[in-house]
Structure 1
Amino acid sequence: MKNLLVILFSQALVNNFMLARILGTCPFIGVSQQVETATGMSLAVVFVMTMASAISWLVQHLILNPLNMGYLQTVAFILVIAALVQLIEMLLKKNSPGLYKALGIYLPLITTNCAVLGVAIVNIGAGYSFVESAVSGAAGGLGWGLAIIVFAAIRERQQLAPIPKAMQGFPLALVTTGLLAMAFLGFSGFNVAKFVGM
């Protein structure tokens, strides 16, 4: 149980996939104009990361490893992620058309979100068990979601500020992302294992 808490805190805060590993920047910048769409995107990413981590672990250990086909890992994981994104797209289109329309092109882009593929590959490389992989995926998604929601809230506030024309839009988004990454860097000295009593 304590090991799962260490994975949870380290993936969400210390080794945040967006702010520490710089994975998943395209949807991070593209969907962060409003907190509402950022929240919807983060929920979709949490679901996909969790499921992709669990299913990728099964694919790796039940199919690829027994058949000595580890070289197909990336292709297999991308297929798993693409299938999950299609499932989410169908569910959102049916149950939440407003959110589906707000996410637009960025919803199918979860398929190519390198953070989702990255968490699956990191889990296999770390030698996590099935449960640890699922927790790592959920924590990675929660960390990415936390980062995009905080970033979207900051960007909403920036829209009210008198910003020089040269800094408006993408330049300010990059500077803000850098400052947010520096803020999360404060967690790097945090000893998670000591915190949970290991």
Structure 2
Amino acid sequence: MTRPHPAVVVALVGNPRPGSRTLGAATALARTLAGHLGAGADPAVVDLAAHAPGLHAQPRPADVDAALATVAGADVLVVATPVYKASFTGLLKSFLDLYGPDALTGVVAVPLVVSATPAHTLVGEVHLRPVLVELGATVPTRTLSVLDADLADLGPAVARWWERAERPLRRALGAPGASEAPTPASPTASQATRQATPAPAVVR
């Protein structure tokens, strides 16, 4: 099945430092995916460092609501975080906690984790993937885990990841070039549900 519209690609960055290298990596990956998938526009970028003061404010600021809607409206969502205490950042968790159950249904998520040591390459699979799935997102590929040393030239790491990720990612999107082989039923980005309704924290 072909998508009725070009894919909307969004990068969500959970590094609390403005202008971080995680932001640069997420933007680069989102642009690469947009190019491969024929996105209709440049990827939107939600840098949580710019929204951190408002995540716990009451009433919630309009810019945070706009960020929630942008992320929930993505077809392809790059979720990027540095490793912090062997997991993803508290800033990213605080943002995801603002969503109600299944709020990311219809979103195809691509975790991107930046770490200082190979010992943390499974952080995305062990910690971040379950949270995204709990919120309803489809995560059809393995996490792209990169080391700090890779950030100077991210191209080779992305190319290696894409070789394995292209087929499941296209299949999840129903994009041209996807395999026609039958696969187990799972939520896809063609589903129309998009929610950004706040609810009590459901991510633990």
Q: TM-score, normalised by structure 2?
A: 0.28
Q: TM-score, normalised by structure 1?
A: 0.29
Q: Choose between structure 1 and 2 for higher RCO, CA contacts under 8 A separated by at least 6 residues.
A: 1
Asked which structure has the greater CA Rg, the reply is 1
Structure with a larger share of its residues in strand: 2
Structure with a larger share of its residues in helix: 1
